[in-house]
Amino acid sequence: MCGYNQNSMFVKLICKAIMDATFRKQFLADPMGTAHEFGFSEADQKEMARYSAQKLRALVEGPSLSLLRA
C-alpha cells in the first residue's frame, strides 16, 4: 500500500479510518496528530499529512457508480 518503514502501522491507521467514521473525521482534520498518536516518526507524520483526503474517501466509499456502469 505504501513504502513506509512502518507499513503495518500505516495499514492499521488507514483501516481504522475506513471502518470508523469518528476516527476518519479525526484523521482528516488532523492527520499529523493522528499519526503521532499511532507512534509514527515525525517524517512519517508529515507523509500522512500529505495523504489525500480524496484517496481516503475513495477507499471508504468504493468506486463511483459511474465507473461501475462503464
Burial class (CB in 10 A: 0-12, 13-18, 19+), 65: exposed
Query: Which DSSP letter does residue 63 get?
Result: S
The continuous run of DSSP H or E covering 43 comes out as helix 42-50
DSSP helix/strand/coil, 15: helix
Q: What is the pLDDT of residues 1-60, one digit of tens each?
A: 444 445 788 888 888 888 888 998 888 888 889 889 988 898 888 887 777 777 777 776
> Residue 47 and residue 56: Cα distance in Å, rounded?
14
The pLDDT of residue 22: 92
The pLDDT of residue 32: 86
> How many C-alpha atoms does 39 have within 13 Å on its Cβ side?
7
The pLDDT of residue 25: 87
The pLDDT of residue 1: 41
The pLDDT of residue 68: 52
